[in-house]
Structure 1
Amino acid sequence: MATETAVQTFKNLINGEWVETASGETFATRNPACVTDIIGKFQASNEADVVQAMESAERAFHFWRNVAPTKRAEILYKAADLLEAGLEQYAEELTREEGKTLASSRLEVKRSAQTLRYYASEGLNVTGDTIPSDDPTTLVYTRKEPLGVISVITPWNFPISIPARKIAPALVTGNTVVFKPASDTPLIAYRLVEVLHQAGLPAGVINFVTGSSSKTGVSLVTHPAVKAVTFTGSTGAGEKINRSVRLSTRVQLELGGKNPLIVMDDVNIDHSVELAIKGGFELTGQACTGTSRVIVMDSVHDEFVDKLIEKTKLLTIGNGLSKGIEVGPLANESQLHNVLNYVSIGKEEGAELAIGGERITEGEYSEGYFVRPAVFVGVTPKMRIAQEEIFGPVISVIRASSFEEAMEIANDVEFGLSAAICTSDSNRIQQFIQNIETGMVKVNRPTTGNAYNAPFGGVKMSSTATYRESGRAAIDFYTQIKTVYHGF
């Protein structure tokens, strides 16, 4: 474990140079499984640092937009190779920094490399349209062109895969980037920027600043150079960004979720329990697509709950670097207090805490943010634990007497990100797909997980519902259409 004196200090990247902040201030990050383990020191940037980054990105855009698509792709391919070459190091650093299991970290780093390769390829297929013209002497067609400077602001729960799926399509379409990661997980974000820099990105094409949103946020979203802001995080922060941007600034917001799993009465109970456990407790419940509500038919409710409790008891909790761990710590002290607070709220509201919900402090757990995964039963749809995003390992089980009632409960929240159903009834499946109010639908699958080549996003308060992330659809956010009338 690192000590204060032995800790490495990491710098910002501005205009192709690794630099300190003008103030010289730094902040330290710590392992949420063992808070005496200091990960590193990072630049406590302020608005002046962001302005420098913006000016650098704006200058670089005039060059980068005209770089051949094959050259841009070549850089992304090389960066992907560098990520995979450092897989074990980066996965271990990610686990130390965020807390997720080493297996999950390996998958995230590998997926990020796949994302870079995917967009390297997609960048060669950005095309316009030729439009029929009534005038035979005029050719009408469209071009897709880059926007300019993109402000990328990302969360701590997927601290390399979310930045990769934002930055890669931005770069490959000719935009430049100013990137600010979450302050809980700046090291793995630094590693992503580092491999892009090493792969040959010209100076200023990507700029990297760390620090608190309170000291950097204004310029990140309001600087005149910013042509688009892409943000993943809390709904409250997203709403603030949406109110702050200039009229001409494009915005993409991926926000919270309160994702349901409906368990019908024709299911294999063991399978449905596995879906709930995976969706609700994997990643310590810290996923915007995590299963927060399980809506179960009356006839199978008691059997489902019994088996859910049994499986929850068997989960191994601990430092994600250890073998066999299934549930790591919460990512920070704020998350710890938030989850414990919601456990108290659930009990006060009259729900029955069937298992878990307490902080674990004995022995090896004493210096980490560990909470035993919780299952509430007797939950009613209007309780706060059934309406508000908890972002932790807490599952609320709600009874329903019919498919129609289950659908009503599932849709009766302000969020609409992901939803799943467990059934073999093809008619119910089609009704679910058609009527559920979410951006992503899962059938006999957990609410979590999405393919890097498929669109990702929600409806209602889960997203701006304008531009999707991931897949080919993501390219639309980073490009604008120019219509050309070419006379002969």
Structure 2
Amino acid sequence: MRVLENFIGGAWSRSSGTTLLDVKNPATGECLAKVPLSTAADVDAAVKAAQAAFPGWSATPPVQRARHLFRLREVFDAHRDEIAAICTAEHGKTLAEARNDFGRGIENVEHAAGIPALLMGQGLEDVASGIDCHTVRQPLGVFAAVTPFNFPPMVPLWFLPYAVATGNTFVLKPSEQVPLSQQRIFELIDQAGLPPGVVNLVHGGREVVNAFCAHEDIAGVSFVGSSAVARHVYRSAAEAGKRVQALGGAKNFLVVMPDAEPSRSIAAIAESIYGCSGQRCLAGSVVVGVGEAYEAVREGLLERARAVVLGDGARPGVTMGPVISAAHRDRVVSYIDRGVAEGARLLLDGRGAKVEGYPHGNWVGPTVFDDVKPGMVIATEEIFGPVACLMRARDLDEAIALANRSEYGNAASIFTSSGRAAREFQRRVGAGMVGVNIGVAAPMAFFPFGGQKGSFFGDLKAHGPTAIDFYTERKIVITRWF
């Protein structure tokens, strides 16, 4: 069985950790590889390699750094299908979803390649008589990122291209549940010719995360995962004097007004809830039908949910794959059990789902709850699975109030034909990313990504212009010549 290695200082090396975890195909149960739980010593070796590379890389002109990203984009584009197949095997999402996953990551490489323009400062002559002032952006050193299981190719590329484009060096810890996409991506990065030590990969779990937060030579940490761990990373790394952007969990509300366009709205809502088996931070979770829209939403969503084809994401015709692990399947099922116990009406039950020929798959079928009340656990906690919770609201004000009760604030969407309702919703709802007739409010690479409240810890969000702010320090120079 293949044992994955770390990528440190431009070379592959064995982890010093002795614990190995199985990387399994969640549809078949097949063990694909073994991943090591690396140690703080491995992190230190990667940071030292990144530190050694920093002086030369930070002194490389931005236009030359951009050319490395152009080459990287070409290499990635040539291997889109290969990476998608790896992603589907380790994660379970469909091949179409996996292609989109990697494609959105490549968009960040494309955006970061514009670094000569993105990195520009500002200047003004004669701020006082004979005195000029200008600002420049400078890199800080070594940055680290910890990324989740749900988008194996994409999420690391929210961080890596911007870190290196701005002149920093970088250490990544991918999720130990889905390390194969990044293992292959780093092989491609090696082919693209980045100098040794500019990017580094350390496999592992909690010890690696804590080592990132504590290491005195890491300037900043990026994290994507649950809110509980995001809060821990934020506190630990900030106490150590680091920059931190920690993206946490979600409970996303989708509000449907009576004037919403019926068929396209329901299609977008169903894809939001059941795409990637509900395992994405922008997935719809609570659908609020306003007034007379409720019954139409319920029946339309039920019809769409029943039409979902559950199975191995690598097979044609499948529209929803398994959840990531048996443990996560049990967690999602426990939430369905809790919803029944709380008195919500279960219209479609995904528990006990089976797929012929795949007895070891982590299957949870599309699930729909009716009559969900605001205080229920299924209405408040992140399930991260293919479970829809239907709630009623009298009017837009009540719908916004329901959404704003949530401790999370990642995303929210409204479906309406009214510009006034859409404007009120986007102004008042407490979410960082808002969709209008959009089920998954995912910003493009050139806009920031991040939520509010318990969904985000930090000041500067991922990708877009805020990434340039996160990875650079502004220096102000005031000049007078005698």
Secondary structure in 1 aligned to 2:362? coil
Moved more, 340-349 or 298-307: 298-307
* Contact 1:291 1:448 survives alignment (8 Å): no
- Looking at structure 2, the residues matched to 455 and 23 of structure 1 have their Cα atoms a distance apart, in angstroms, of 36
Moved more, 78-87 or 124-133: 124-133
- Looking at structure 2, the residues matched to 268 and 332 of structure 1 have their Cα atoms a distance apart, in angstroms, of 37
Q: Identify the residue that residue 11 of structure 1 maps to in structure 2.
A: 5
Secondary structure in 2 aligned to 1:288? coil
- 1:21 maps to 2:11: no
Q: Identify the residue that residue 27 of structure 2 maps to in structure 1.
A: 33
* Contact 1:154 1:231 survives alignment (8 Å): yes
1:339 to 329, 332, 335: 332
2:406 to 406, 409, 413: 413
| CA offset digits 1:296-349 (Å, max 9, x no partner) | 023122222122112211110000000011110001122211101110111111
- Looking at structure 2, the residues matched to 66 and 128 of structure 1 have their Cα atoms a distance apart, in angstroms, of 17
| CA offset digits 1:405-453 (Å, max 9, x no partner) | 1111111101111111111111111111111111111111103433122
- 1:422 maps to 2:434: no
How far did residue 89 of structure 1 move? Answer: 1.5
Change (3 A) 1:427 1:362: closer
- 1:181 maps to 2:170: no
| CA offset digits 1:175-199 (Å, max 9, x no partner) | 1111100001111011222222211
* Contact 1:280 1:292 survives alignment (8 Å): yes
How far did residue 374 of structure 1 move? Answer: 0.6
1:109 to 102, 105, 129: 102
| CA offset digits 1:48-86 (Å, max 9, x no partner) | 111111111112112211011122111111111111111
* Contact 1:360 1:371 survives alignment (8 Å): yes
Moved more, 282-291 or 195-204: 195-204
* Contact 2:323 2:385 survives alignment (8 Å): yes
* Contact 1:70 1:124 survives alignment (8 Å): no
Secondary structure in 2 aligned to 1:270? helix
* Contact 1:153 1:182 survives alignment (8 Å): yes
- Looking at structure 2, the residues matched to 422 and 38 of structure 1 have their Cα atoms a distance apart, in angstroms, of 43
Q: Spell out structure 1 runs of 4+ moving beyond 4 A.
A: none
1:231 to 223, 229, 232: 223
2:132 to 115, 128, 139: 139
Structure 1: where are the runs of 5+ without partners?
Answer: 1-6
Q: Identify the residue that residue 35 of structure 2 maps to in structure 1.
A: 42
- Looking at structure 2, the residues matched to 247 and 483 of structure 1 have their Cα atoms a distance apart, in angstroms, of 25
How far did residue 113 of structure 1 move? Answer: 2.2
- 1:259 maps to 2:259: no
- 1:285 maps to 2:278: yes
RMSD: 1.5
Structure 2: where are the runs of 5+ without partners?
Answer: none
- Looking at structure 2, the residues matched to 85 and 473 of structure 1 have their Cα atoms a distance apart, in angstroms, of 29
* Contact 2:273 2:284 survives alignment (8 Å): yes
Change (3 A) 1:43 1:71: farther
Q: Identify the residue that residue 142 of structure 2 maps to in structure 1.
A: 149
- 1:387 maps to 2:380: yes
* Contact 1:148 1:176 survives alignment (8 Å): yes
Change (3 A) 1:190 1:362: closer
* Contact 1:457 1:465 survives alignment (8 Å): no
Moved more, 453-462 or 177-186: 453-462
- Looking at structure 2, the residues matched to 136 and 197 of structure 1 have their Cα atoms a distance apart, in angstroms, of 52
Q: Identify the residue that residue 219 of structure 1 maps to in structure 2.
A: 211
Moved more, 266-275 or 371-380: 266-275
- For 1:240, give the aligned amino acid: H
Q: Identify the residue that residue 83 of structure 2 maps to in structure 1.
A: 90
* Contact 1:330 1:392 survives alignment (8 Å): yes
* Contact 1:11 1:19 survives alignment (8 Å): yes
How far did residue 401 of structure 1 move? Answer: 1.1
- Looking at structure 2, the residues matched to 224 and 345 of structure 1 have their Cα atoms a distance apart, in angstroms, of 44
Give identity over the alignment, percent.
32
Q: Identify the residue that residue 4 of structure 1 maps to in structure 2.
A: none
* Contact 1:122 1:472 survives alignment (8 Å): no
- Looking at structure 2, the residues matched to 133 and 414 of structure 1 have their Cα atoms a distance apart, in angstroms, of 49
Q: Identify the residue that residue 370 of structure 2 maps to in structure 1.
A: 377
Q: Identify the residue that residue 474 of structure 1 maps to in structure 2.
A: 467
Secondary structure in 1 aligned to 2:457? coil
Question: If the length of structure 1 is used for normalisation, what is the TM-score?
Answer: 0.95
- Looking at structure 1, the residues matched to 265 and 105 of structure 2 have their Cα atoms a distance apart, in angstroms, of 29
- Looking at structure 1, the residues matched to 3 and 117 of structure 2 have their Cα atoms a distance apart, in angstroms, of 38
- Looking at structure 2, the residues matched to 447 and 10 of structure 1 have their Cα atoms a distance apart, in angstroms, of 34
- For 2:227, give the aligned amino acid: T
- For 1:13, give the aligned amino acid: F
* Contact 2:372 2:390 survives alignment (8 Å): yes
